[in-house]
Amino acid sequence: MWSKLIVNMAEATVTKLPYDEEYLQLGGRALVANYFMDLVKTGKMDPKCDPMGEQNVLMFCTGVLAGTNFTTSYRISVGCKSPLTGGIKEASSGGYMGKLMADQGYRMITVHGLPQDGKLRYLHIDKEGNAELVDAEDLRLKGTYDVVDAMRERYGDGISVACIGPAGERLYKAASIQISEFGTLHPSRVAARGGVGALMGVKGLKAVVIEKPTIPYKVEYADEAMFREAAKELNAFIAGAAKVDPFHNFGTISTIEKTGANGILPVENFSGKLYKDYKKLGVEEFLGRLAARGGCNKKPCQPGCLVQCSNVYHDADGKYLTSGFEYETIALFGPNCRIDDLDKIAVMDRMCDDIGVDTIEMGTACGVAMDAGKLEWGDADGVIAMLEEMRQGVGFGPTLGDGCEAVGLALGAKRIPTVKHQAISGYDPRNTKGTGITYATCPQGADHTAALTMGRAFDDAGRTAQAYASNKLQVAICFSDSMMCLFAFSNVVPKMHLLANLMSGLYGGPVDITRVTIGLGVKTLLTERAFNKLAGFTDEDDKLPEFFLTERSAATGAVFDINPVEMEVLFDF
C-alpha cells in the first residue's frame, strides 16, 4: 500500500500515514488541484489566505503512474497556493526525486505550518524509509550546488535532493525549488514557477533528501499483463518517435530555429522585432560547443526517459558550467535582452539554478529593466551583477528576486509582460495567438507548458481556431502533467487511447479514455479555475497586458486581436 508523509514545521515532526484511497487514481497536477480544493471544502484553508502564512501547504507528489515502467512516469509536482500569483500552483519538474519517492512507497509529502523557532531544517528519508527533520543551520544561504555536495558527502551518491537556494530563504516571490538530475545530481531540474521556493523558505525547509531504499516499493497492479502490454507498445512508439524528435536530437534549444524566423521569439522585452542573429544562439552553435568542450546532449533527467532532452554544457575551458540548459532561458536572457553570447547566458542559467530562482521570471525581468533604462540592451555583465545582488540580498537584488512584475512596478515600466503576476515565457503572443489565449486564461498564470499552440493552430499569427487549439491543449496538458513528461506525451498522441489501458491495468475499472481526458484533464482545469475564483480571481485576471493588443509586432504586423468573448467560452465544456 502506498504511503504519504505529513511534515509539521511548527512542531518539527514527521508522520507516515497510508496514502488516501480517494487520491489513488490522481497524481501530479490533478492531485494538486483536488487536494487544495479539498482543503478549502473542509475548512482547512481559506482560499484567500496569505500564501506565505501558516495555512498554506507545500506539496510534493508523484504522477499517477509512478512506480511503473512507463516512460517518464517519475515527474515530480510541487503544489501550493502560489506566493507569486495568489492562485493554484502546480510546478512540474523532472529529476530523480519522483523515482526515489515512488521507490520509498510515497506518493505525497505535504509540509504544514511555520517553524516557531526560526530554525532551518531538511527532511531526510533514509534507506529503510525512516523520515526525520534534521538541523540545516550549516546550510543557511548556501547555493543549491553546495547543498547537493553536502548531502552527497553525508549520504553518498544514491540520493535525490530537492532544495532551495538563497532566493527561497530570502522569500523572493520568483524563488524556485531545484531538483537533482538522475545520474549527475546537478540541481538543474526545476519546479520553477509561481514562487514555490519562497513557500519552502518561509517554512524553514532547506531541502528534501531521499536515499535509494534497500528494498524498493512494489506497485500492485489490478491487471499487470494489461498494463505491461500497453506500456510496452507506448514505450516502443515513443522511442521510435524520439528518433526524429528535435528535443531528443538537439534539446529544447531547437525551438529557436522556428521562433527566431517567425517573430515568435521575444526580442527586446517583447518589442515584436525580428532578431536576425538568432542563429548565434541556435542548434549548430550549441552542439558545436558541446562537442568541442566535452559537454553532451541526449541526457535523461529521470531514469527510463526515452526522449532524453537534457544536456550538460561546459565553459570554454572544458569545465562543467550548467545543465538542463533550455530554450526559455536562452530566449529570455538572450534576444529578449539583446544578448547573443551563449556562454554568458549559460553563466546566468547556472547562477539562477544555484540561487534557486526561475529563469523565466529573471529573463523577462531583465528585459523590462533594460526597457526602462536600468541597464543597456545587451549588457550581459550588468545582468550577471544584478543576479549577484539578488544572491546577496543587496541593492536592486531583492526587487529582481520578486520577479518581472515587481521590477516593472519599481521602475515605472509601461510594458510588463505578465499575467496573474507571473511572467510570460519565450513566445510572443501576437504571433502565436493560441499561446496568448493560454497565457491569458491558464489558471496557473502565464505559463510556458500549459498549452503552447505554436505549430498546432492553422496559422500561428492568424485568428482561426486559436481558442479551440488552446482549449484542447490545456485539457491535454492537464492530464499529461498528471501522468508523464509533456515532451514524451507529445509523441504519444496517435496512441493516446492506450493511456486508458494503463489506468485500467494499474487500478482496475473500465478501459475508458474519459478517465484520463475528463477525469484528469477537464476536471482538473475546472477545479483549478474554481479554486482561483474562490481566491478572488475574476475575468479581469484572464487578460494579456494591454501593449500586446495595441502595439503591432514589427515582424508580422499582428496584434493580439482575440475577442474576450472567444476566451470566455473557452471553459464551457
Span of 66-74, 119-127, 162-170, 238-246 interacting with another protein by CB under 8 A: 238-246
Span of 132-140, 285-293, 417-425, 482-490 interacting with ligand SF4 by CB under 6 A: 482-490
245 binds another protein (CB under 8 A): yes
504 binds, among another protein, ligand SF4, none (CB under 5 to 8 A by kind): none
- Minimum Å gap between C-beta 520 and ligand SF4 is 18
485 binds ligand SF4 (CB under 6 A): yes
Identify the DSSP state of 175: B
Single out the residue of 456, 515, 523, 529 in contact with another protein (rule: CB under 8 A): 456
270 binds ligand SF4 (CB under 6 A): no
Single out the residue of 182, 479, 487, 537 in contact with another protein (rule: CB under 8 A): 487
Identify the DSSP state of 137: G
Q: Given the complex with ligand SF4, which of 307 and 383 has the nearer CB atom?
A: 307
* Concatenated DSSP letters of 340-379: --HHHHHHHHHHHHHHTB-HHHHHHHHHHHHHTTSS-TT-
Q: Given the complex with ligand SF4, which of 144 and 441 has the nearer CB atom?
A: 144
- Minimum Å gap between C-beta 291 and another protein is 9
* Cα distance between residue 249 and residue 549, in whole Å: 37
Q: Characterize 458-473 residue by residue with b for buried, 16 or more Cβ atoms within 10 angstroms of its Cβ, and e for exposed.
A: eebbebebbbbbbbbb
Q: Which of residues 87-106 bind ligand SF4 (CB under 6 A)?
A: 94
- Minimum Å gap between C-beta 242 and ligand SF4 is 9
**β-bridge pairing 205-211 and 121-125:** parallel
72 binds ligand SF4 (CB under 6 A): yes
Report long-range pairs for 234-240 (Cβ below 8 Å, ≥24 apart): 234/70, 234/71, 234/492, 234/495, 234/498, 234/499, 234/502, 235/69, 235/70, 235/71, 235/306, 237/491, 237/492, 237/494, 237/495, 238/71, 238/306, 238/307, 238/488, 238/491, 238/492, 239/71, 239/306
Sequence-separated (6 or more) residues with CB below 8 Å from residue 140? 120, 169, 206
Closest CA to 419 of 344, 489, 360, 352: 360
190 binds another protein (CB under 8 A): no
Q: Which of residues 126-145 bind ligand SF4 (CB under 6 A)?
A: none
Q: What is the gyration radius of the CA atoms in the chain, in angstroms?
A: 22
305 binds, among ligand SF4, another protein, none (CB under 5 to 8 A by kind): ligand SF4
Q: Given the complex with another protein, which of 60 and 427 has the nearer CB atom?
A: 427
Q: How many residues bind ligand SF4 (CB under 6 A)?
A: 13
Single out the residue of 78, 196, 342, 454 in contact with another protein (rule: CB under 8 A): 454
Span of 242-250, 312-320, 340-348, 513-521 interacting with another protein by CB under 8 A: 242-250
Single out the residue of 308, 329, 336, 527 in contact with ligand SF4 (rule: CB under 6 A): 308
Q: Given the complex with ligand SF4, which of 307 and 451 has the nearer CB atom?
A: 307
Q: Residues 147, 151, 152, 154: is their CA dihedral positive or negative?
A: positive
The Cβ of residue 292 has, within 10 Å, a number of other Cβ atoms equal to 11
Q: Given the complex with ligand SF4, which of 301 and 348 has the nearer CB atom?
A: 301
284 binds another protein (CB under 8 A): yes
3-class SS at 134?
strand
Single out the residue of 70, 172, 227, 250 in contact with another protein (rule: CB under 8 A): 250
Single out the residue of 53, 294, 455, 508 in contact with another protein (rule: CB under 8 A): 455
* Cα distance between residue 24 and residue 264, in whole Å: 40
- Minimum Å gap between C-beta 83 and another protein is 26
* Cα distance between residue 371 and residue 270, in whole Å: 10
> Terminal CA-to-CA distance of the chain, rounded, Å?
35
Single out the residue of 14, 59, 190, 287 in contact with another protein (rule: CB under 8 A): 287
283 binds another protein (CB under 8 A): yes
Q: Residues 273, 276, 277, 282: is their CA dihedral positive or negative?
A: positive
Single-letter amino acid, residue 178: Q
Q: Which grid coordinates are listed for 544?
A: 494579456
Write the CA distances from 200 to 85, 116, 169, 351, 445, integer angstroms.
16, 15, 8, 19, 20
250 binds ligand SF4 (CB under 6 A): no
* Cα distance between residue 557 and residue 548, in whole Å: 12
Sheet with 296-299, strands from edge to edge, namely: 296-299, 310-314, 320-323
Q: Given the complex with ligand SF4, which of 439 and 487 has the nearer CB atom?
A: 487
482 binds, among ligand SF4, another protein, none (CB under 5 to 8 A by kind): none
The Cβ of residue 543 has, within 10 Å, a number of other Cβ atoms equal to 17
Q: Which of residues 377-436 bind another protein (CB under 8 A)?
A: 426-427
Q: Given the complex with another protein, which of 113 and 282 has the nearer CB atom?
A: 282
Residues in the site for another protein, rule: CB under 8 A? 243-247, 249-250, 252, 254-255, 257-259, 261, 264, 283-284, 287, 309, 326-327, 426-427, 448, 452, 454-456, 486-487, 490
Residues in the site for ligand SF4, rule: CB under 6 A? 72, 94, 300-302, 305, 307-310, 485, 487-488
